[in-house]
Amino acid sequence: MATIEALFKLQELELALRKNREDLAGIAARIERDEASVHAHAVAVRAQRALAALENEQSALDVDMQDTIERLGTVERQLYSGSTAASKDLLALQREVAYYKERQGNLEEQLLAKMEQVEAAQSRAAELDAAYRQAEAAWRESVPSLQTEQQRLQRHGEEMAEARDEAESALTAAEVKGFRSLEASRGQAIVRVERGMCGGCAIAVPSHELQLLRSTHDPVRCPNCGRYLYPG
């Protein structure tokens, strides 16, 4: 096999191996933790906390309402008991009764509005909890197929690793060293030539270099970026 073809094969196998490892890492992460169900759980928890805050506010209004009703009852009993004769004291009691009645009315409006908020929050929290449970169930159902795909990718990766080692062993130490050096400095050592342009730097390859590329099996470098050129 020509040197450039052997190097290109080595590069393709290593790129495929890298993609294989990325896919395996992605599947392992999905088996370990499902982002959709994690997000759904976080949203459901926030909804439960918001509901709890509204319920606490409603409870506080209930306590305030009960206290107001008791105070109103106490003042009304004093007013209508006949024990207070002075007009000044009677007027003060009447004002207190009016105050507590007005306060009771305001609290009733606030309580009604808060009860509506709580009811809406309860419905929303229930919906989000159901969505989370559905996402969790879907993830758990998908785990066996993910594990099957994981095993397939592992086997395929092992096969590609053997092929990569075989491809590298067909090259000389100097050829591998030159390839690794380019790989380290350029990211990709070999690029295709398409429409007369280097696939690495997108600069036109001189015609004499193109002729050399077609007539030799030895590596030909791009005069601009230094990568090995491969016929497109």
pLDDT in tens, 116-137: 999 999 999 999 999 999 999 9
Question: With the C-alpha atoms ordered 120, 126, 130, 136, is the resulting torsion angle positive or negative?
Answer: positive
Final residue of a domain: which of 116, 143, 169? 169
Final residue of a domain: which of 122, 141, 169? 169
Q: What is the pLDDT of residue 81?
A: 85
**Mean pLDDT to the nearest integer, 72-77:** 94
Tens-digit pLDDT profile for residues 134-174: 999 999 999 999 999 999 999 999 999 999 999 999 999 99
Q: pLDDT class for 1, splitting at 50, 70, 90?
A: very low
- The answer for residues whose C-beta is within 8 angstroms of residue 230's C-beta and 6 or more apart is 4, 8, 190, 191, 192, 193
Q: 201: domain range? A: 178-231
Which of 28-42, 81-95, 185-199 is least confident? Answer: 81-95
Instruction: Measure the CA–CA gap between 10 and 168, rounded to whole angstroms.
Output: 6
Q: Is-above-0.75 flag for pTM?
A: no
Question: 160 and 97: one domain?
Answer: yes
Question: 140 and 30: one domain?
Answer: yes
| Closest-CA residue to 191 (of 161, 139, 230) | 230
Instruction: State how many domains the chain has.
Output: 2
Q: pLDDT class for 215, splitting at 50, 70, 90?
A: confident
Q: How far is CA 49 from the centre of its chain?
A: 21
Instruction: Measure the CA–CA gap between 77 and 71, rounded to whole angstroms.
Output: 10
Q: What is the pLDDT of residue 193?
A: 95
Question: 164 and 194: one domain?
Answer: no
Question: 104 and 165: one domain?
Answer: yes
Instruction: Measure the CA–CA gap between 23 and 153, rounded to whole angstroms.
Output: 8
Instruction: Measure the CA–CA gap between 139 and 117, rounded to whole angstroms.
Output: 33
Q: pLDDT class for 80, splitting at 50, 70, 90?
A: confident
Instruction: Measure the CA–CA gap between 47 and 124, rounded to whole angstroms.
Output: 7
Final residue of a domain: which of 139, 169, 199? 169
Instruction: Measure the CA–CA gap between 203 and 197, rounded to whole angstroms.
Output: 5
